[in-house]
Amino acid sequence: MNRAFLSLYILIVLCVALFGWGLDKLWQYYSPPPSITTAEHNLLALVEYSIEQSPAQLNDKHAVVTAMSQSTHSHIELLSLDDFANSSLSEILTAGQPVRLHNQHGELQLYKRIQNSPNVIRITLPAQPPQKSSYLYEILLTLFYGSIGLVVFIWVWPLMRDVRKLERHTQHVGKHSLPDPVSVLPGSAVSHLASAFNQMAERIKELLASHKEMTYAVSHELRTPLARMKFALAMLKSNSPDSSPHATSIAQDIDEMDALITQLLTYAGYEQEDGPLKQQDGDMAFLISELIQRAKDSHPSTHIEVTLECANDSTHVHCDWHLMERAIFNLIHNALRFAESAIHVTLSQTPKAYTITVDDDGPGIPQAQQTRVFESFVRLESKPNAQVRGFGLGLAIVQRVMKWHDGRAIVTTSPKLRGAQFILRWPK
């Protein structure tokens, strides 16, 4: 950053000096200093003539100057050429040329040496009302600042481009899949930052890959002894039909561990998005009906009424159907575990978004715990029976699917059934 600051500072200084010098030359060329007008020249000639015709005594000349000041309504002074010895006007006045200047008060001053005399006439005229400024001044001033701005923009644009590229990649990491490496020119001001980002991205990829591989490896390695234990229990039951009730409990625990491993493998597959979503149009009402039947088949002992309502008679939805199928099934499956007698699924859409709500008449979720329900391995059990036992991964998958669709998963209290209400909403 020090290098970037120094280069920008030096560039601005050079541009100010260069453009200032060039535009000053243009101003001098197109707007030279105004020359003495005929009236001013005649006034100088009149005063000079009057002084020359006066007596030789200095007091008489000052008296003439005073009289001329009153008659011309100006302030006339008689100075010595020695008063301009250290001034740039000395040579001009010595040559007998008139000089036209403005003092610090904006008053016009005319200077003229009296011919063959060491005296100099100075006539001070009253300040005139400011005239309308020339368009050339405004044009050159605008050109000066515009040129400085253009040069700074040309310098800053590559930096802005690289920073925006880093910003896009960072947002992509936060919202979608694994980070991609950022490529910038070696001389870029953010090349070190891009290099650090690429190292971080590579490290994240390695960590995620290692985590996923470990999950798969541990899960598969656990299934091998579980399979042997299942086989041993089956042999025990076949050899001893009246085996201990503990064997049945062990078999249930093995089945639960096997289900947990299956859930872990499923959850590992949803840890990050593998490329862009494969979104297509389709009939969401048909899919929800199929998922309701599948979820009810997985709970054959329950007798809960599940209804589907399609608002606005619009069932065509654009989404990634594989991911959305998993999310909706998890919600319906979760509702079947907690509902008392009824579940209501609603499909609706607005010009900007799709919405799916799943209401149940179960115990609901306390407001203080609603923010945690979508976290991994969080189980908010409210029933002590085995029907509601789970692993706390289904709703975490729902949250990931909605995040990949740039949507939201929300839980609140159902206004209809007084239980929990889960809302899936994602943009069109």
For 143-176, what is each residue's pLDDT tens digit?
888 888 888 888 888 888 888 888 887 777 665 5
Question: Per-residue pLDDT tens for 59-80?
Answer: 667 788 888 888 888 888 888 8
Q: What is the pLDDT of residue 221?
A: 73
Residues 316-320, mean pLDDT to the nearest whole number: 90
Q: What is the pLDDT of residue 387?
A: 47
Question: Per-residue pLDDT tens for 364-396?
Answer: 888 888 888 888 777 765 554 444 456 678 888
Nearest Cα neighbor of 402 from 320, 299, 303, 292 is 320
Q: What is the pLDDT of residue 273?
A: 60
Query: Would you give the DSSP letter of residue 240?
Result: -
Residue 132 has pLDDT above 60, yes or no: no
Q: What is the pLDDT of residue 31?
A: 65
Q: What is the pLDDT of residue 153?
A: 87
Helix (H, G, I), strand (E, B) or coil at 224: helix
Residues 93-107, mean pLDDT to the nearest whole number: 83
Q: What is the pLDDT of residue 342?
A: 92
Residue type, 360: D
Q: For residue 266, name the pLDDT band (cuts at 50, 70, 90).
A: confident
- Tell me the HSE value of 286 on the side-chain side, using a 13 A CA sphere: 6
Q: For residue 410, name the pLDDT band (cuts at 50, 70, 90).
A: very high
Phi, psi of 415 (to 5 degrees): -75, -20
Residues 407-422, mean pLDDT to the nearest whole number: 91
CA distance 26 to 164: 40
Q: For residue 129, name the pLDDT band (cuts at 50, 70, 90).
A: low
As a dihedral over the C-alpha atoms of residue 286, residue 291, residue 292, residue 297, rounded to 10 degrees, the angle is 130
CATH 1.10.287.130 positions along the chain are 176-276
CATH 3.30.565.10 positions along the chain are 279-427
Q: Quick one: which H or E segment has residue 265?
A: helix 245-269
pTM over 0.85: no
DSSP-assigned beta bridge partners for residue 412:
421
Phi, psi of 76 (to 5 degrees): -110, 130
CATH architecture of 279-427: 2-Layer Sandwich (3.30)
Across 86-224, the runs of DSSP E, i.e. the strands, are 99-102, 108-113, 119-125
Q: What is the pLDDT of residue 337?
A: 86
CA distance 290 to 341: 20
Query: Would you give the DSSP letter of residue 269?
Result: H
The CATH classification number of 176-276 equals: 1.10.287.130
